[in-house]
Structure formats: structure tokens, C-alpha cells
Structure 1
């Protein structure tokens, strides 16, 4: 009966763990994002529709290659593996550790070391082998809290890895569309150069015929050279974007130049932007998950520190053999055994223990504040990127119309100039307006696509809702 009572008390103690039990904090969840109208769709459908909606197979290939070969992603995976190894080690701490050892020694004794002095053997041999076991009895949950903390750290590392994947895919897509936008800007700049070369020919012909002034020709040449000056900068930006894409896919900077040189243009059609409810977005964003898991880890570490207020019991045992001759090892007379119960109570150093508890509690409060800030930042990020996407689309529509009007105005100005109705100043102004509007139109088209990718990153991928276009 007494043995049963002792076992019951031990079992009861082993079931308790000091320190606070973790509870996930409540998060603010607006009913909907102000800039989103949603219709339901499956997550897999939304993901497929998003990337397929760009109708660019090369983009999909580059994304797959980035996820497979990016070195930053491989480093993130290694950090996840490290956290998994630490969790395994924390779990093993809860179980007995067993070690095996063996040794053999021979010693020449001085006279004073002999028993009695001056007599006895001159040489002493000693051979031993055995198994030793040590087990910390986790009566107050120190090891279990440590395991809980490491489990949360592993989950946080997994969330970090997910966030890195989303970020890298977003960077790759943004760099790819920036490249296509720069190539379109270069094409527009070359068209502007060709237009202004024609204008210079017209001005020169009129000057040679005595119908214009040298001042007009000089201004036409100046405008042409200014437009040509934009070409080297655009070509440098194109090459830099190619280098960036290659590095993101885990390749040397010049590896994809031949593949990317062919200008396929910006997407002619855009996919549907997926938008979940704010609560769903918060639950799927890996940065939020990582912050919440780190809060859980910090809470568990309070229990680890609090456990030092209680004694730490360690059960150890030894089973071995010790002999003066190797042939006598493992014989009956050479057998040795030991069982011991150790008690370590750091509570006597109360100030140091209390300081560790206070530090763990402060870490937990900081982790809570970080989590709450991450939630608010995620809501702000998503709302802002949705608004910017919508405004980018509106701006692109206005600039499309403006570009058409500028082309008509420039053509009318050239016609009227050739007929002598207006001076070159009006032609120059019209062509400057056309050049600026064409460039702004291409930039706005690029901005729309980049804003869409930014929304995708804010949503941490394609969720189960889709915004009506």
C-alpha cells in the first residue's frame, strides 16, 4: 500500500508543470477589407488562376526554379532543420541518458605510494568497464516546458520558411515584370527617337527650302539627343533586372540573358486578385504565425525559469566491472553497482533565480507586443496594397486615353507645321508631351502588375477568396 501511495504521488507530481499555460491572444479582425469585394473559390483554384492568369509560361518556370534552387531558401530550410534537431534534443532530455565507458591503466608506484610504504607491488593495473544512466525526474515540468518552447520555435521556423518562400516568389515576379516594363520603355524610347528623327528631317528640309529657321533645327537636334540619352540608362536597367532574376533562381548573373532578351511584353491579361476576409488573411500570413509561435515559446520559457524555484531530482545508476587484471573483468567478484538520487536546489540562490524569471516574463511581454504589432502591420499592409492596386488601375486607364490623345495631337501638330500654319515650338511641345505620356503609360502598366504582385505577397499567396475584376 505504501509503495502504491509513493507511486501515485510521483505520478501526480510528474503531471504538473510550473509556469503559465499558454493561451493564444485575441486578435482584431475587421469584417472585411475596405478595398475588396470577394466571391468564394477554392484555394487550389485561386492559386492556379492567379499565376496562370498572367499567361506567361516562362514566369512559372522561373518561380519553380526559384523555389527549388534559391540559396536563401536553402539557408532557411537549414535553419528549420536546426530547430527540428534542437526539438529532438529537448525531447531526449526527458528520458534517461545511457553511456558506456571502458578504460585500462597501468601505474608504477613510488615507495611512499605503496601499502605499507616500501613494500607491496611496484606496479598496479586497473581495468574497468560499465554502463551509466542518468535521468532527471521532471517533477515540476522544467523539461516539458523546455520541449514546449522548442516545439513552438520549430513551428516559428516553419512559418519563417513559408514567409521566405512568399517573399522570394514575390521578388522574382516583381523583378520579372520590372524587366518587361523596362523593355517596353526602351521600345517606346526607340519609337520616340525614330519619330524625332523624322521631325528633324522635316525641319531640316524646311530650313533648306527657306521656310524655317536654324533655331528650329538646333532645337530639334537637342530634343532628339535628349531622347537618345535615355536609352543607355534603360539598357543598363534591363541588364540589371536580368542579373537579379538569375541570382534569385540560384544561377550566375549572366545565366539567363539569352532567355530573357526576347521581349514578351507586359501581361495582356491580368488574373483575378485573391482576397480573403481579414481574419483568414491573418491566419494564413506566416509572419503572424511566426510571431504567435514565438510568443508561445517565450511563455513556455517562463515555466523553465520558474522550475528553478523547486528542487531538481536526478536518478543515476552504474552497472560495471572493475578488476586488476583484464581477464577478471565481468567476473562475479569484479562486479560493481551504484544507484543514487541527487537533489539540486538552486532556490538557495534566490536572487539569481528571480532575475531569470523576471527576464523570461519580460521576454514574454515583448513577444506579445511584437505579435500585436505584427497583426496591425499585416492589416495595414493588406489594406494599403489593395488601395494602391485599385488606384494604379485607375491611373493606367487615364494614361491610356491620354497617350491616344497625345499621339493625335503630335500628328496634327506635324501636319500643321508642314503646311506652315504653326511654328516648330508647337510641334516640339506636342512631341515632348507625347514622349512623356508614352513613357508614363508604360510605367503605369508596369505599376499595375507590380501592385498586383504586392497584394499577392500581402495575402501570403492565393487564398480561398477572389476579388471581382
Structure 2
């Protein structure tokens, strides 16, 4: 029978037994909310035009730190390696579409003994060269589904790379803001130390003139030294965040310290933030896009496991030359060939096929639930960050008034003390309160910027690579 006729006959027998995969899976258990819970003038329902959100801080140092980090961070480099591995796996799976070709050649010379029987000694030789082929025809989509699964895994690895980049940019920005916040707290402490030292000198002069007891001097010195004692822990925190920035940039700590020696104030940023609508998260957050790709990959794997229930069709063949005389090997009379289409159907494997399908179905269900969990977590993170940022702005406005009143209280209490109209305790209370207020204001500014960074991260802002 001609090979084409045989294949048509086999296909007409097998194709009616194929089954179609189930319809599209419903990823989301519940529809996303139409708007965010926070309704405030600080936010607008449009996404930022520029994904490089850190440039809104107008801080060249931060820009340069992130630029170095995305180039040298080892987590990013490992994510890029995982993309290369996923691409290689895809190419390996795509290779199943092509036939397997092999070549073999040999020469044999054999001589029999003339002393072991009635036959005389004989000498024979044999030479051959053969090109063979084995090709699986993907009738039921087993190879096609496995290739599709690897394509989705490859796409998911790209999204994982994007997620690493988004996280890295947020980590660098957060460490930088924490560092600048501590540096600003150091400046606050030093400024208060100078003010408190001036008060110490005032109490000493009043003690020397006999206007007050030495208790006032001792109390003034206690406040001064207590304030000064907070510097070492702040400086230790600065070193820790500097080291963290060094690791994020792929540098050793001593190299990072050289970069961060110059002190700078916290960036001033109180502007309207673009947040879009909840559905934008599905388009922007790389972790959600990666989860969606993994759902598609598991669906394709389920289809492949179902295809394994049905027969596999192969076409085997070979062509070559064989001859006893080496000089006649290339002669047309030495030509040999073989065409051997075949079908293989392992319809019973002790339940392995059924369990493989159940496993693939369970993995698909798990990936769908993971996708839904990621969406819920994303909405929660955005709502939390929006609420934190909005209230941090309100806190900053209130603390600025508190600091102004604290400064005025210190000035008034000190003037009254100089005139002998108020006890020194009022001055001490005013000094401690002012230091506390200024530290709270600095921390509130840092917390506001950190909340903004978390908001941009939750919205999926940052880096992206082409599909």
C-alpha cells in the first residue's frame, strides 16, 4: 500500500475518536471593583505617562542609584538567566515538530577458520552507509500543547523579570528615602544640640550671678547630653541603609559608602498621583500577568495530558548504500531504503494516564486560584498604599503647625525664664517637645515618600520588556 494511502486510512480511523479541550476557564471568581475605596483629590483615575516614577522626585542621585542597580543587581541578572533557560526549554520542545535524522556507516571484514569444520577458510567484507529518519506526526496535538505550555512559561519568565525590576526599583528608592530620613534626623538632632548648648550657657551665667541654683545647669546639661546620645544609633542606621543600597547595586559596602557620603534633604513631593482603575492592575502588574501566563501554561499541559490518551503516529524511514565491495558502495545497485509508518497506542498503563490528567487538572485549578489570590492581594496593596499616602499628607500639614508652635513655645519660655518669670522646667519641656516634633515631622515626610513608593509598586509601575 502506498504510504500516503496508508496515512489517510489511519487518520480516517483515528480522528473521529479525538476530543476537544474544555472551554476557556474563568480566571476571576468576582468582578473587580469599578473604583478604589479612596476618593481624594490626591489621586486621579489616569495612570502615569512615564513608568519611571522615581524621576518625579527630581533627585539625580536616586536616578543614578537605580540605573546602577538595574544593570548590576544579581537578582535581576538571575531573572535574565531564567528567561534564557525558559527560551531554551521552548526551543527544545519546538524541536519535537521536526523529524529526528541519524547517520551511520561502517565497514566489516570477517574471516572464518578452515580448521573447525568441513568448510574451507573464507574471508568476507561488508560496508554500508545509511541515513535514517524518525518523525512523530502530531495528530492529536500533544506536541502542539506542550509547545504552547513552554511559550506561556517563557512569557511568564519575562513577566517575572519585570516583577524583579519593579521590586528592585522600589527597594532602592525605599532604602534611599530611609537613608535621607536618618540623615535629616541627624541634622535635626545637631541643630537642637546647638540650641540646647546655648541654653546651658545661659543657665551657667545665671548660676554664676546667683540668680538660680545649680539644678538648672544640671537639668540643661541632662537634656543636651540626652539629645546628643541619640546620634550614634542614627549614624548606625545610616550605615545599615548604605550597605543595603550597596547590595542592591551589586557593590561592596565600602564602595557604596563613598557614593552616599554627601548628605541631601528628603525630596519634596506632594502632588496628584495617577492611579487608574482597578482593572488596570491586570494590564500593569507583572506578577498578575505572570500568574495569567502560568494559568495558560497549565491549561495547555492539561490538553497535552489528554492527548496522551490517543495513539501516536510515526513515520520511520532510511536510505543508504550497502555492498560487500567497498568500491561498489556508491553503485545504484547498492541502494537500500525502508519506509515504515507505524502507530503506537498505549491504551492501558495501570492508571498512569488517568492520574496524569487528574494531576494536570489539579495544577490548573491551583494556578487559577493563585491568579485570583494575586488579584485580591494587588487590590489590597493599592488601597492600603493610597490610604497611607493620603493620611501621611494630612499628618505632615498638621505636624508643620505643631513644629511652628513648638518653636514659639521655646522662645517664649526662654524669654520668660531670662526675666525670672517662669521656672526652668518650662524651658526643658519646650526643648524636649520641639525635638520630638521636628523628628516626627521628618519621619512623617519619609513615611509619606515610602507610602508613595509602595503605591507605585502596587500599581505595577516601573520597568518593562517587549513581548
After TM superposition, the score normalised by the length of structure 2 is: 0.88
Contact 2:113/2:122 (8 A) holds in 1: no
CA offsets 1:408-456 (integer angstroms, 9 cap, x no match): 1122222222222222222211111111111111000111111111111
Instruction: For residue 209 of structure 1, report the CA deviation from its aligned partner.
Output: 2.7
Unmatched tracts of structure 1, length 5 or more:
464-469
SS in 2 for 1:346: coil
SS in 1 for 2:461: coil
For the aligned residues, what is the CA RMSD?
3.0
Instruction: For residue 251 of structure 1, report the CA deviation from its aligned partner.
Output: 2.6
SS in 2 for 1:256: helix
Instruction: For residue 373 of structure 1, report the CA deviation from its aligned partner.
Output: 0.8
Which range moved further: 326-335 or 267-276? Answer: 326-335
Which range moved further: 174-183 or 268-277? Answer: 268-277
Contact 2:113/2:121 (8 A) holds in 1: no
Match of 1:402 in 2: 402
SS in 1 for 2:318: strand
Match of 1:467 in 2: none
* Alignment map for 1:320-399 (pairs within 5 Å): 320-323=320-323, 327-399=327-399
Match of 2:93 in 1: 90
1:20 and 2:26 equivalent?
A: no
SS in 2 for 1:255: helix
Instruction: For residue 329 of structure 1, report the CA deviation from its aligned partner.
Output: 3.9
Contact 1:321/1:334 (8 A) holds in 2: yes
Match of 2:59 in 1: 56
SS in 2 for 1:461: coil
Instruction: For residue 377 of structure 1, report the CA deviation from its aligned partner.
Output: 0.8
Between the aligned partners of 2:112 and 2:442, the Cα distance in structure 1 is 93
Q: 1:394 to 1:424 in 2, by over 3 A?
A: same
Q: 1:398 to 1:336 in 2, by over 3 A?
A: same
Contact 1:22/1:300 (8 A) holds in 2: no
Match of 1:73 in 2: 76
Instruction: For residue 118 of structure 1, report the CA deviation from its aligned partner.
Output: 7.7
Contact 1:107/1:125 (8 A) holds in 2: yes
Contact 2:269/2:449 (8 A) holds in 1: no
Which range moved further: 81-90 or 63-72? Answer: 63-72
Instruction: For residue 64 of structure 1, report the CA deviation from its aligned partner.
Output: 2.2
Contact 2:46/2:277 (8 A) holds in 1: no
Unmatched tracts of structure 2, length 5 or more:
none
Between the aligned partners of 1:385 and 1:28, the Cα distance in structure 2 is 21
Paired residues in the alignment total 457
CA offsets 1:358-392 (integer angstroms, 9 cap, x no match): 11111111111111111111111111111111011
Match of 1:440 in 2: 440
The structure whose RCO (Cα within 8 Å, separation 6+) is larger is 1
Between the aligned partners of 1:163 and 1:178, the Cα distance in structure 2 is 22
After TM superposition, the score normalised by the length of structure 1 is: 0.88
Q: 1:79 to 1:134 in 2, by over 3 A?
A: same
Which range moved further: 98-107 or 313-322? Answer: 98-107
Q: 1:111 to 1:315 in 2, by over 3 A?
A: farther
Between the aligned partners of 2:69 and 2:54, the Cα distance in structure 1 is 15
Match of 1:466 in 2: none
Q: 1:220 to 1:308 in 2, by over 3 A?
A: same
